[in-house]
A and B are shown apart, each in its own frame.
Chain A
Amino acid sequence: MAKKSEQLVEHLFRTEYGKLVATMTRIFGTSHIQLAEDIVQETLISALDHWSIEGIPSNPVGWLVQVAKRKALNELKRNKMMQKHHQSGGLSQDPSYQIGAVFLQDEIKDSQLRMIFTCCHPSLNVESQIALTLKTLCGFGIREVANALLTTESTINKRLYRAKASIRESNLPFCIPQGKELESRLESVSLTLYLLFNEGYNATIGGTLIQKELCLEAVRLTKLLVDYFEENQKLCALLSLMCFHTARFEARLDDHGAIVLFEDQNRMLWNKELINIGMLYLKKSMHGQSLSAYHIEASIGAEHCLAESFETTNWQNIYNYYKLLGKLKPNPIIQLNLAIIQSKLEGIETSLTSLNKLTKNKALKNYHLLPATQGIFNMKLGNYKKAIAYLHEAQKLRPSLTENKFIEEKILECNTLLSTSS
Chain B
Amino acid sequence: MQEFLLILKGDGMNHLSPNELQNIMAEYKAWANKLGDQYLSGQRLEETGALLTNKEEGITTDGPFLESKEIIAGFFLIQAADQEEANKIAMSSPHLGLYAIEVRPIAFPKMK
Residues of A at the B interface (CB closer than 8 Å) are 8, 11-14, 16-17, 41, 44-46, 48-49, 51-53, 139-144
Contacts and interface: CB of A to CB of B under 8 A. Distances in A.
B20 A141 contact: yes
Nearest to A55: B29
B25 interface: yes
A16 B18 CA distance: 9
User: Counting chain B CB atoms within 10 Å of each CB, which of A17, A48, A140, A143 scores highest?
Assistant: A48
B14 interface: yes
Interface in B72-100: 74
Given A14-B18, A52-B28, 11 more contacts: A13-B22, A14-B22, A44-B22, A48-B24, A48-B25, A49-B44, A52-B25, A53-B42, A139-B18, A139-B19, A141-B17
Nearest to B43: A49
B21 A44 contact: yes
A126 to B, nearest CB: 23
B87 to A, nearest CB: 22
Contacts of A49: 42-44, 74
B44 A45 contact: yes
Contacts of A144: 17, 19
B32 A53 contact: yes
Interface of B: 13-22, 24-25, 28-29, 32, 42-44, 74
Given A53-B32, A53-B42, A48 B19 contact: no
A23 to B, nearest CB: 15
Chief secondary structure at chain B's binding surface: helix
A45 B18 contact: no
Nearest to A143: B17
A217 to B, nearest CB: 12
B17 A139 contact: yes
A122 B29 CA distance: 45
Contacts of B44: 45-46, 49
Contact of A14 (B15, B19, B24, B42): B19
A51 B18 CA distance: 15
B70 to A, nearest CB: 19
Contact of A12 (B17, B20, B22, B42): B22
27 contacts: A8-B25, A11-B18, A11-B22, A12-B22, A13-B18, A14-B17, A14-B22, A41-B14, A44-B21, A44-B22, A45-B13, A45-B21, A45-B44, A46-B44, A48-B13, A49-B44, A49-B74, A51-B25, A52-B25, A52-B28, A52-B29, A139-B17, A139-B19, A140-B17, A141-B19, A142-B15, A143-B17
Nearest to B13: A45
Contacts of B74: 49
A13 B13 CA distance: 14
A95 to B, nearest CB: 20
A48 B17 contact: no
A191 to B, nearest CB: 26
A29 B17 CA distance: 23
B17 A8 contact: no
